[in-house]
Amino acid sequence: MRAAARGETVLAPSVASTLVRQVRRPAPPALSARETEVLRLVARGPTNADSAVSCSSRRPQ
């Protein structure tokens, strides 16, 4: 309690252990340029058909 009163971060050992494990994990791979393009398009909210046209893909018949 004294540490918390001094403004220090206090973590239970189980929480600290979980945090350390997650920090030590390798970073996920970065998105490819194409994946980034598709993600930006999806974030804008067009329909799938409009997205396909925008991505210069064939529309399903």
Residue 55 contacts residue 41 (beta carbons within 8 Å): yes
d(CA 45, CA 51): 9
Confidence at residue 57, expressed as pLDDT on a 0 to 100 scale: 57
Rounded to the nearest integer, the mean pLDDT of the chain is 81
Specify the pTM: 0.38
Residue 32 has pLDDT above 50, yes or no: yes
pLDDT tens track for 42-60: 888 877 777 777 776 544 4
Residue 61 has pLDDT above 60, yes or no: no
Confidence at residue 14, expressed as pLDDT on a 0 to 100 scale: 92
